[in-house]
Amino acid sequence: MNAQKKSRMIAISTALIAAVMFFTSPTNASVSSDRESVDFGKVEMGSSSTTTVNISNPDNRALTLTAFVFQMGSCGFSVRPQLPIELPGGGTVSVEIEYAPSALGSCYDILHVSTSNRAITGEVVLIGTGVEAPGKSLTVEELLEFFDTSVYYENLEDSKPVKSAKKRLNTLRSKIEAAGDLIENGNIDEACRQLLAVYKNIDSLNMLGSPPGFFQGETAEELSDMIWGLMERLECK
Q: Which of 80, 97, 131 is the last residue of a domain?
A: 131
226 SS3 class: helix
User: Is residue 49 a contact partner of residue 10, using CB atoms and an 8 Å limit?
Assistant: yes
Flag whether 62 is in a domain: yes
Cα–Cα distance between 122 and 132 in angstroms, integer? 33
Flag whether 9 is in a domain: no
Whether 155 and 120 share a structural domain: no
Q: What integer pLDDT is reported at residue 178 of this predicted model?
A: 94
The percent of residues in the chain predicted with pLDDT above 90, rounded, is 19
Q: How many CB atoms lie within 10 A of CB 72?
A: 14
Q: What is the CATH number of the domain that holds 102?
A: 2.60.40.10
Whether 113 and 214 share a structural domain: no
Q: What integer pLDDT is reported at residue 129 of this predicted model?
A: 86
Cα–Cα distance between 133 and 44 in angstroms, integer? 5
Mention every residue, 6+ apart, whose C-beta is less than 8 A from residue 109: 70, 71, 72, 73, 74, 75, 77, 125, 126
Cα–Cα distance between 65 and 82 in angstroms, integer? 10
User: What total of structural domains would you count in the chain?
Assistant: 2
Q: What integer pLDDT is reported at residue 215 of this predicted model?
A: 78
Whether 221 and 150 share a structural domain: yes
Flag whether 32 is in a domain: yes
| Average confidence (pLDDT) over 127-156 | 82
Q: What integer pLDDT is reported at residue 27 of this predicted model?
A: 42
Residue 87 has pLDDT above 50, yes or no: yes
The boundaries of the domain holding residue 124 are 19-131
Where do the H-state alpha helices sit in the chain?
140-152, 165-184, 188-202, 220-233
